[in-house]
Structure 1
């Protein structure tokens, strides 16, 4: 029997994470199965069973997860599941025909390219295009999630309202030319758009820790596939340009006017489709990548810490270096989240978890030095939109990393379950969205759109 302190939501998250690995179960089917599971649990609870009993009986009565549930029971023999999985072994793989999904994905990819191309043609100025680039591409990625997850009209409207508000603000605010607030709004708007994409991805179940972690995993895998597509496309374009150059033709005008505007947003949509179609392949790659880059990132952070502490007075630290260090800390956070999403939740603590704690402590040390340098610069030269935005982000990172390190240490000492550390990561993510909303909506009028 499961330990009493494991809550019902944790059990459902374990179940969902395992079932999601099956090729036969599409994300839309999984959402429907989870709804059915919850209904079964609610009926059992109304009949007087406790949470564990209701969950186990509901699993037994799920008619679409026979082979998957049996395999789960074999791998997790310490649980009671194996006693209740007594269904046949011939599941019918329901889902959309591959050719139809491919047609939808290619149509959306072309649509995203056309939208960005139209933006390049009709929007005046690089600043305006930078603020609107995410707005042009996001609807097509969200449309894929909406089609894949079969989102309701109510949820689509709930996504459309903040999207429209963001579009109005980015285009109606009288941003000064080459001003700081306009650039900050352009840099933070994608954070809000990506959180909206996350709501679409999880089918509106943003309160579920497991579904939020699914989106974290999806984001990491999307970055991998997008990078691979970019590298492969870059090689093909380079070879094509070299061949054409030999016969006196220049590919650069066509590349700037047509190829890149279609390739970049199109690759994003295609990468999202590949992640959905090849989840089990990436799951084999993800642990390897995190184990390679975690020690390398620790070495990089320690080297940067030495540079920062030996660079002289903190006031004299170059502003460009502080900006780069902010980017490094965000990258470290992304690596940490992806590593946690790739970890088997039920596995005991090991050497890699020790490395994760070392990574957290190293990042905390770098963040503390950066905060000291920022406060010193503000005290010496005064505040500005850029400094306040950077300071706010670093404070958020400090809280996030500090509590994650505390929970990680507790997990290594056997005083906390891994699920507690995982929940902290996913529940803190909306805080970054709130801060991004403040920078986009509040900073411009407060700093007179400068």
Structure 2
């Protein structure tokens, strides 16, 4: 089988798997089993001399409809949810009880996070700004990782790896003698949450980080989780306002309770609750992030194009102030996020369309802006030398430049019909490892390299 036919086959299988994953009655393990079954049939057919496309169509046809296949699985695996869903009248109490057990596990993990965030106050660190800059993510994210490790029934090896990385983050954040106003401390406060979020990703995929499909699942989850978290934050803001108003009406000032208990405890608990909601309501909410991406892609494309036109007309340079650099890096990250969430919901076998060309324009515009920002950063470094902030900005923009440049090339190849869309998705999911390595490097190495400045 040639490379092109193999890539085409993988695109077809990916589209079939995407359809399977959208079926509410299919658990992930069952979909994996069906995919293995399909691949085995395709292998048998291709070895008999059929072309990959023909083998795929025949294998899918022979597997029958999903409902028929569901009945077959129900008879062979009578102890699982299949029997309850497909063969009515024979419920599976163990499986039916899982949502309640997941709810209990979520409450325990959210409660542990709420309790944990108050422990530093027992040692007089509750108002220590430097302490929280270093450690907030270490109190906020472990409970979420624990929830996923339980839910995925992770192996002892995976649990040990996740725990070890959190310990490494705690050591990196606290052993270095950094002053409160040092650039290294600020960089640690920015990059440690990213590094630990990717550790949560290891827990989410149950340790199967090598799977591109599982990495895409985590990327998709991240977008949906953020949407839920924003909704919870809005609801929490309304609750806080009503709490303050009602208690003030009877002469009780709840400000201390709100600031010391409700906001910190509720905030970290909401991280776990949002994760549970995404998992519990996956079939309902799964497409929200891609829909938002499709809405904002043209708006961001127009905004970036307008900025480039203004840059050329005015011939003004870009300010290399730290806040400006952070703004541009966030802009580039948003562009990649729009690209990722559009990829996550796209039919991999569909032909290139207008929206694909619009995305290519967005990526190219972001690439040009990244080059302009890099020129401004290198000019300042040449004039004033390296600092932690400028070095971090230089590295991050180089990483984004590589991603955007290759993404643009892959997009162009897809639009011209020279390569499958699946290659672009594999590139994006594989590049997550680069972000993880960089985040850990900033946390662990930058303070030493720049002598804790």
Q: So what's the TM-score if we normalise by structure 2?
A: 0.85
Q: Quote the residue 2:139 is aligned against.
A: 136
> Displacement of 1:320 after TM fit?
2.7
2:62 alignment partner in structure 1: 83
Structure 1 residues 310, 203: CA separation in 2 closer, same or farther (over 3 Å shift)?
Answer: same
Cα-to-partner distance string for 1:188-218 (whole Å, 9 max, x where unaligned): 1112111111111112221111111111111
Aligned-partner Cα distance in 2 for 1:52–1:345? 26
Shift in alpha-carbon separation, 1:202–1:7, aligned structure 2, 3 A: farther
Cα displacement string for residues 301-333 of structure 1 (whole angstroms, at most 9, x for unaligned residues): 234435555676637554432221122212222
Number of the residue aligned with 2:20: 19
How many angstroms does 1:160 deviate by?
2.0
1:6 has 2:4 as partner? no
Output the TM-score relative to the length of structure 1. 0.85
Distance 1:361 1:79 in 2: 40
Q: How far is the alpha carbon of 1:269 from its aligned partner?
A: 0.7
**Map of 1:367 onto structure 2:** 370
Query: Could you say what the CA RMSD is over the residues aligned between the two structures, in angstroms?
Result: 3.1
The equivalent position to 1:271 in structure 2, one of 270, 274, 293, is 274
1:214-234 CA distance string (max 9 Å, x none): 111111111111111111221
Map of 2:32 onto structure 1: 34
Aligned partners of 1:291 and 1:41: how far apart in 2? Answer: 32
Question: 300-309 vs 5-14, which deviates more?
Answer: 5-14
Distance 1:318 1:188, change over 3 A: closer
Q: Distance in 2 between matches of 1:205 and 1:186?
A: 28
1:112 maps to 113
Q: Identify if the C-alpha distance between structure 1 residues 163 and 51 changes in structure 2 by more than 3 Å, giving closer, same or farther.
A: farther
> Mapping of 1:153-172 within 5 angstroms?
153-172=156-175
Aligned to 2:234: 231
* Offset of residue 174 of structure 1: 1.6
Partner of 1:209: 212
Q: Whole-Å Cα distance in 2 between the matches of residues 7 and 207 of structure 1?
A: 21
- Are the equivalent residues in 2 in contact too, given 1:309–1:369 (CA < 8 A)? no
- Structure 1 residues 274 and 325, CA gap change in structure 2 (3 angstroms): same
2:189 to 181, 186, 189: 186
Please name the residue that 1:344 is paired with: 347
Alpha-carbon distance in 2 for matches of 1:346, 1:49: 20
1:410 is displaced (CA, Å) by 1.2
Report the CA distance shift for 1:358/1:432 in structure 2 as closer, same or farther (over 3 A): same
Note if contact 1:222-1:275 (Cα within 8 Å) is conserved in structure 2. Answer: yes
Report the 3-state secondary structure (helix = DSSP H, G, I; strand = E; otherwise coil) of the residue aligned with 1:6.
Answer: helix
SS at match of 1:5: helix
Task: Indicate conservation of the 8 Å contact 1:298/1:359, yes or no.
Answer: yes
* More displaced 10-residue stretch of structure 1: 79-88 or 293-302: 79-88
| Deviation for aligned residue 1:36 | 8.2
Which blocks of at least 5 consecutive residues in structure 1 are unaligned?
A: 57-76
Instruction: State how many pairs are aligned.
Output: 426
- Quickly say closer, same or farther: Cα 1:49–1:188, change in 2 above 3 A: same
Of 282, 288, 292, the residue aligned with 1:289 is 292
Q: What is the rounded CA distance, in whole Å, between the counterparts of 2:340 and 2:432 in structure 1?
A: 10
Question: Residue 254 of structure 1 is aligned with which of 230, 254, 257?
Answer: 257
> Aligned pair 1:97/2:98, yes or no?
yes
- Greater displacement, 278-287 / 400-409: 278-287
Partner of 2:78: none
Q: Distance in 1 between matches of 2:339 and 2:152?
A: 27
Q: Encode CA deviations 1:41-72: one digit per residue, 9 max, x unaligned.
A: 67997x9974999x99xxxxxxxxxxxxxxxx
Measured after TM superposition, the shift of residue 16 of structure 1 is: 4.3
Q: Which moved more, 1:243-252 or 1:132-141?
A: 243-252
Q: CA distance change for structure 1 residues 239 and 413 in 2, over 3 Å: closer, same or farther?
A: same
Could you tell me how far 1:401 is from its partner in structure 2? 0.5
User: 15-24 or 221-230: which moved more?
Assistant: 15-24
Q: Which moved more, 1:307-316 or 1:91-100?
A: 307-316
Deviates more, 1:246-255 or 1:186-195: 246-255
In the superposition, relative to structure 1, how do residues 9 and 52 fare at CA in structure 2: closer, same or farther (>3 Å)? farther
SS in 2 for 1:24: coil
The aligned counterpart of 1:409 is 412
